[in-house]
A and B are shown apart, each in its own frame.
Chain A
Amino acid sequence: MATQAIEASVSTQGWLRGWRAEWAENKLAYWLLIPSILGFILFLIYPIASMFTSAFSTLDTMGRITQVGTLKNFADLAGDEQLPMIIRQTVTFAFGTVLMEVILAFPLALILNSYFPGRALAKALILIPWAMPYAVSAITWKWIFHGQMGSLNYFLMQVGLIKENIVWLGSPTTAFGAAMFVEVWSSVAFMTVTFLAGLQGIPPHIYDAAKMDGAGAWQEFRDMTLPQLRTVFMIVTLLSIIWAFRSFAVIWILTKGDPIYRTDIAVTYLYKLAFERLYFGRGFALAVCIFVVLTIFSILYTRLLGSQEEK
């Protein structure tokens, strides 16, 4: 026991000595770090602490804390009739859009990785939806989907596919589908470009070696391309899931979560709870839940990124 205490003391003293030496050598750097640390506290730690404090407090209809230390907000949230539907929709939206993005982006990246006339132009064009601000994309598509004046109905009518206007953003199914479509349209370019970067990072000589061993195109793709892209695939998928979870602008501009919450996802519902229905406590509780989920995805993402950098 005494030996352990001595070892611990020696270890602490060693650490302190090391820290002191480190400080003596870099004290100016540490001083210069203070503004960043303060900024970090003010703009990251403070809002997060404030969110957690509010989530565990009673709030009035103006969003002010009236009493700290309660789980009532979480209990109210758990009892919210709409919550199971909102969770289902959030999961469907996040994973559905990412799945569609993968299905579209991977072939696009493969095409862009091959040589054809106009390849540079194609690369530039594919980036346009991603370069457009979400709000601009959503407003543009809102008008395209408009039931009476939208160009989509006009086009479908002209080619004889429909006889009556469809109010795309009016029924729960088509509105949710439209929101997912716009999210995919806006995000697929990022995934394509990332896959393309991954493809271009594969050393060409491994394909040459495979060819010499008699591998066909399918075998090359299955045994060389896909394994080489696995980490890139995981990283970009996780990142896209995180973004899809936070996709407020597209849904808010297109449908505002209507009709009857059928196109809401967690972030839009959170906004409605707090700012439309004035249930700030419940809103903060949902914010904490979203924060926890996104933190888990972020940790996974960071670890994957770290392992990729090590490679």
Chain B
Amino acid sequence: MLKHSLSRRDFMRVLAATATPVLLAACAAPAAAPGSGASGESQPAGEIVEVRFVAMDYDSRMQPDTQELVDAFNSSQGAIMATLEVVGWPDGRNLLLTQISGGQAPDVFNGSGQWLLEFNAAGETAPLDDLLGSDFLANFQPSGIEAMTVEGKLYGLPYFLDPRGLYYRTDLFTEQGLKAPETWADVRAAAKALNSPPTMYGIGMGPGDYWWYAWVGAFGGGNNLSRWTEDGHSRIASEEGLAAAQYLADIVLTDQSAQPSPSTANRDSDLQPLFLAGQMAILETGSWMPTIITNDAPDLQFDLAPLPVASADLKHANAFWPDCVMMANQSKNKEAAAEFLKVQFNAENRLKFALQRGVIPERIDVGKDPGYLDPNDPLTKYKEFFVQELATAHNVFETPWPATGSEDDNAINNAMAQIWLGEKSVADAMTAAAKEIDERHGL
């Protein structure tokens, strides 16, 4: 029989030796310090450098389209090997948070401009100005570059810029003798006239974006559209802010011309499908909509108007929610990652991306490219509209409080939900939300 000569003491030592590091690990900080690896250690000469790109998907073609770009990049040179991971938007932020906090951030990744501010506030995004050079950056729309700039440094490249517009059913408007809506009064009148639930809702309404459409409309183009005063206080309970919220409340509560339950409506999964199904007369949404209509509801008769304003004497205004590609401060291969970005963002690839996704190009040259503005393409007039809008659109992520952007948005969404549910008046809800936001910032 096999004799086991391990003493009890030895056994305890083995157990202690194996268990102690694990227990110590449990008590230690679980991740690398922010910005570790920020210096960008270079690879030994001759070795292939790997660049990992994590992409949030916009549609079912995102994976193959982006893989094609990555493959082309890899085969065009032998020094850098780019790899791609496509993940869903809903899980993307958590995935990045986990990877960043675990010290395993991808070299480059795309995401919302809001994430850029959050990650940047935690010191996790790398500045791109020097890596990409001013000549390269001069090709981009200034509004897009400005949206990705924090304290004078560029931390992201605009990837998906999306000014918005008001889509309306031309056949229904013609039947009722209505003109394209320009003011809030026009919108309310048309929505009321066309509202016939449950087969037809006058206008689509939801949280988030829809407050912004009213906000920019309350001030009008050429005016200060920021939600913040110069000293960082929230302006959402200002006279214009209350007027914007009142306009949304009137549509939902007084006119009852929106679809039911706007506080939980989702633009992409609730409102756009209703418009496509011919059950909604007016819908404010993004530049991608003409492409979707052409593909999914080609017989729908529609046209596009600028976002409405509070009164006829105001110029129309627009807003955009920029997505961007960021570089992780943890990346050890920043120069290689920058080379990948230069190819990803060259005119040819961005033209492809704009056509594939129905998105407005962030490169000035692509916005003018005949390949993008094809005179024979029925969608060209919409593209031209959005390219023009982008030049003056307001970046909704602009804030002096980058780390709390999501929380500040939540306060507004919750206030609008309380108004729509009839729990609070416009003044009470917006004043309380402004107070909550200011208190969060110690004001």
Binding site for B on A (CB under 8 A): 19-20, 23, 27-28, 30-31, 34, 37-38, 41-42, 45-46, 49-50, 53-54, 60-66, 68, 147-149, 164-167, 169-172, 175, 255, 258-260, 275-278
Contact = CB atoms under 8 A, between A and B. Distances in A.
Given A61-B122, A62-B97, A170-B264, A165 B23 contact: no
Contacts of B8: 19-20, 23
A260 B98 CA distance: 26
Interface in B340-367: none
A38 B261 contact: no
Contacts of A38: 18-19, 22
11 contacts: A28-B4, A34-B15, A45-B23, A46-B26, A65-B30, A148-B270, A166-B260, A167-B261, A169-B261, A260-B263, A275-B93
A184 to B, nearest CB: 22
B330 to A, nearest CB: 11
Contact of A259 (B18, B122, B264): B264
Contacts of A34: 14-15, 18
Contacts of A276: 406
A238 B193 CA distance: 56
Among all A-B residue pairs, the 4 with the closest Cβ atoms = A170-B261, A49-B26, A167-B261, A65-B29
A276 B413 CA distance: 14
Contacts of A49: 23, 26-27
B417 A62 contact: no
B97 to A, nearest CB: 6
Contacts of B94: 275
Contact of A275 (B97, B259, B418): B97
B15 A37 contact: yes
Given A49-B23, A259-B421, A31 B261 contact: no
Given A148-B279, A169-B264, A278-B118, A61 B403 contact: yes
Contacts of B27: 49, 53, 68
Given A46-B25, A62-B100, A147 B260 contact: yes
Given A27-B4, A49-B23, A164-B198, 12 more contacts: A19-B8, A20-B8, A38-B22, A61-B118, A63-B101, A64-B101, A66-B29, A148-B198, A165-B198, A259-B421, A260-B421, A278-B406
B263 A259 contact: yes
Contacts of B259: 147-148
B107 interface: no
Contacts of A19: 8
Contacts of B97: 62-63, 275
Given A38-B18, A64-B101, A260 B23 contact: no
A60 B4 contact: no
Given A31-B4, A64-B29, A148-B259, A260 B417 contact: yes
**Most chain-B Cβ atoms within 10 A of its Cβ — which of A31, A64, A68, A258?**
A64
Given A61-B122, A62-B100, A62-B124, A260 B30 contact: no
Interface residues of B, number: 50
Contacts of B65: none
Contacts of A53: 26-27
A49 B24 CA distance: 10
B6 interface: yes
B384 interface: no
Contact of A260 (B34, B101, B414): B414
B274 interface: yes
A164 to B, nearest CB: 6
B133 interface: no
Interface string B241-277: 0000000000000000001110111000010011000
B412 to A, nearest CB: 12
B31 interface: yes
A38 B17 CA distance: 11
A243 to B, nearest CB: 24
**Most chain-A Cβ atoms within 10 A of its Cβ — which of B11, B19, B29, B118?**
B29
Nearest to A255: B264
Nearest to A163: B198
B407 interface: yes
Contact of A50 (B18, B30, B417): B30
B197 interface: yes
Contacts of B403: 61, 278
A62 B102 CA distance: 9
Given A62-B34, A65-B29, A170 B406 contact: no
Nearest to A148: B274
Nearest to B418: A260
A141 B149 CA distance: 44
B121 interface: yes
B122 A62 contact: yes
A61 to B, nearest CB: 5
Contacts of A27: 4, 6
B410 interface: yes
A57 to B, nearest CB: 8
Contact of A41 (B19, B197, B279): B19
Given A62-B34, A277-B406, A164 B197 contact: yes
A277 B407 contact: yes
A20 B6 CA distance: 12
Contact of A45 (B26, B31, B273): B26
B64 to A, nearest CB: 26
Contact of B22 (A46, A148, A171): A46
A73 B3 CA distance: 54
Contacts of A172: 421
A206 B1 CA distance: 55
B417 A259 contact: yes
Contacts of B14: 34
A192 B30 CA distance: 44
Interface string B382-422: 00000000000000000000010011001000100110010
Given A53-B27, A259-B421, A275-B93, A167 B22 contact: no
Contacts of B29: 64-66, 68
Interface in B21-43: 22-23, 25-27, 29-31, 33-34
B195 to A, nearest CB: 12
Interface string B147-176: 000000000000000000000000000000
B85 to A, nearest CB: 19
B260 A64 contact: no
Interface string B106-119: 00000000000011
A110 B27 CA distance: 52
B169 to A, nearest CB: 17
Nearest to B403: A61
A301 B84 CA distance: 47
A171 B31 CA distance: 41
A129 B8 CA distance: 52
